Structure 1
Amino acid sequence: MNTTIKPPKSFWIIAVIALLWNLMGVYQYYLGTYELESLRESVPADQFVIMESLPAWYSIVFAIAVFSGLLGCILLLARKKLAVLLFALSLLTVLVIEIYWLMATDILQVAGYGAAVMPLLVIAVAIFLYFYSKGAARNAWLG
């Protein structure tokens, strides 16, 4: 018999914050994919050139990262174990896009090492959400 246990209030707080975080990721995907030209004036020209030159597969993997993370959050709020799998997919794809961004583009040479802060934060949050969801499943908060 599979029984779920009522999660603590902190679970709901973390799940809602994670949902908001992933909604911001979806917005960044939208901007970078469909509204790239609107960023031209707000991003230094040399950084914009890097953003413009990203390969097509990058956008596809970015979409998988943000939408699997968003769906993972929704399923976490619905207390479904499938959230763990979606957070694993999100983590894997986040690692691909952020490592590519940092290592295969000239962003660090162009913008300096401060440009690594957000990608590293995104990776850290993805790692946290994956392991948090695994813990939630192990604690029987997810059914």
Structure 2
Amino acid sequence: MTGSAKLPVWFWIVTIVLVLWEAMGCVACVMQIRLGAEAMGSVDEWSRNYYAALPVWYNWVYAVATFGGLLGGLALLLRKRLAATLFWISLVAVVVMFGYAFTATDLIAHKGVGEVLPFPLFIAGVGVFSIWFTNLAAKRGWLTA
């Protein structure tokens, strides 16, 4: 079903939702890089110090995670197999980013697992889903080289 064959409406709905999700991630990334902790509104001194202490490479990994995901979503929208590679790059960056935050900082000790872990797990879950969905589309012949 490659070429000009009609795809199911749900393919387009899921793909557009993924693109919008990734675009929101890019906005959050740019805001965090520009504003630090204040990107989340009114924050305490610990949060300001935490964001100020993040290494420079962390922002680059965050950018790869978010913009890589957006490029993956756009590639999926264009029905390109490259989407899977871009989603994988994004997911690896997500793992590196949160892996550092959870193991090399006192974020969990300060805020607690219940407050810190759910959203990163959701983000990683969306990344895994994006890869699965792209592979499904490829297997069904909906993507082109």
Does 1:67 find its partner at 2:67?
Answer: yes
Displacement, 1:62?
Answer: 0.9
Alignment match, 1:125: 126
Structure 1 length-normalised TM: 0.90
Alignment match, 1:91: 91
* CA deviation map 1:71-110 (0-9, x unaligned): 1111111111111111111111111111112222111111
Within-5 A mapping of 1:19-34: 19-34=19-34
Displacement, 1:41?
Answer: 5.4
Structure 2 length-normalised TM: 0.89
Displacement, 1:31?
Answer: 1.2
Structure 2 gaps of 5+ residues are none
Q: How many residues align?
A: 142
Give me the identity figure in percent: 35
Displacement, 1:44?
Answer: 2.5
4+ runs deviating over 6 angstroms:
none
Mark the CA change 1:69 to 1:55 in structure 2 (over 3 Å): closer, same or farther.
same
* CA deviation map 1:16-42 (0-9, x unaligned): 111111111101111111122643852
- 1:34 & 1:121 partners in 2: Cα distance? 24
- 2:16 & 2:41 partners in 1: Cα distance? 33
Structure 1 gaps of 5+ residues are none
RMSD over equivalenced CA pairs, Å: 1.8
Within-5 A mapping of 1:38-53: 38-39=38-39, 42-53=42-53
* 8 Å contact from structure 1 (residues 40, 48) kept in 2: no
